[in-house]
């Protein structure tokens, strides 16, 4: 599949504003378009800061001292993230007995995905009740249902305590976390989703299971 990317970020890439208890992540573009590619996204040189990825992790699954760390920057309304999500769930299953850690970082691009920010916040409220991965799966499986009402339906269907979820969501409890993820993503030159870092090496797009396993196994075998 083709990666979902914005090519020409000019000036300030994302402006984060607090407005009446809500905040907006707004990419400022001179010219924006989506990358087109006839093949699976290609690996590109790493531009990351190891310390940044290691010390400011988002939602984490797997041992903190793992030999391999897989970081995904996500947007819940991104169609290519939706394509990639079952592959990621398969990887978590296949490597659950190995020294591999999976980290999820938020990167909602609301200029093209107006509900992505709300979904990011809802996912962290679900995580508060131990249901991040279930929310991740539900949101991508039922991506067309993402809306303010739909997110509440997801919470109900996941068996979350609704009073706790609604309070968390309405008060934007994890606003700072989302801002931090976006800020770190920009520092790492993330320009679209999904963007991955496997032990610091950058990959982009909805990669195949074989590509992921090849990269992970290479690191495990070092």
Tokens in use for 67? Answer: 């030999």
> Is pLDDT at 170 greater than 60 in this prediction?
yes
Q: How many residues does the chain have?
A: 222
Q: Give pLDDT tens digits for 58-72.
A: 799 999 899 999 999
Given a cut of 70, whether residue 118 has pLDDT beyond it is: yes
Average confidence score pLDDT of the chain:
81
CA 34, CA 32: separation in Å to the nearest integer?
Answer: 7
Q: At residue 56, does pLDDT exceed 80?
A: no
> What are the tokens at 129?
């009740």
Q: The whole model's pTM is what?
A: 0.80
Task: Determine how many CB atoms are found less than 10 A away from the CB of residue 161.
Answer: 12
R_g of the chain, CA atoms, integer Å: 17
Residue 83: how many CB atoms within 10 A of its CB?
18
Q: Which residue has the tokens 């989302």?
A: 178
User: What tokens appear for 221 in the block?
Assistant: 């075998």
When pLDDT is averaged across residues 38-51 and rounded to a whole number, the result is: 48
Give me the mean pLDDT over the 88-103 stretch. Answer: 96
Instruction: Check pLDDT > 50 for residue 45.
Output: no
Predicted local distance difference test score (pLDDT) of residue 64: 87
Pairing between strand 68-74 and 100-106? parallel
Whether 150 shows a pLDDT value over 50: the answer reads yes
């Amino acid at each position: 599949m083709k990666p979902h990317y914005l090519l020409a970020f000019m000036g300030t890439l994302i402006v984060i504003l607090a407005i009446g208890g809500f905040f907006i992540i707004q990419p400022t573009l001179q010219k924006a378009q989506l990358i087109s590619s006839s093949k699976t996204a290609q690996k590109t040189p790493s531009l990351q800061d190891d310390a940044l990825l290691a010390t400011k992790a988002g939602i984490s699954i797997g041992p903190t001292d793992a030999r391999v760390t897989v970081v995904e920057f996500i947007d819940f309304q991104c169609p290519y993230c939706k394509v990639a999500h079952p592959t990621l769930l398969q990887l978590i299953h296949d490597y659950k007995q190995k020294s591999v850690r999976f980290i999820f970082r938020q990167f909602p691009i609301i200029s093209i995905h107006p509900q992505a920010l709300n979904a990011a916040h809802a996912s962290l409220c679900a995580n508060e009740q131990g249901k991040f991965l279930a929310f991740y799966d539900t949101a991508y499986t039922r991506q067309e249902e993402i809306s303010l009402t739909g997110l509440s339906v997801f919470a109900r269907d996941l068996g979350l305590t609704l009073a706790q979820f609604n309070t968390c969501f309405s008060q934007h409890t994890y606003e700072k976390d989302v801002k931090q993820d976006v800020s770190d993503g920009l520092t790492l030159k993330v320009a679209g989703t999904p963007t991955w870092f496997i032990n610091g090496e950058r990959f982009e797009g909805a990669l195949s299971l074989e590509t992921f396993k090849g990269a992970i196994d290479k690191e495990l075998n070092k």
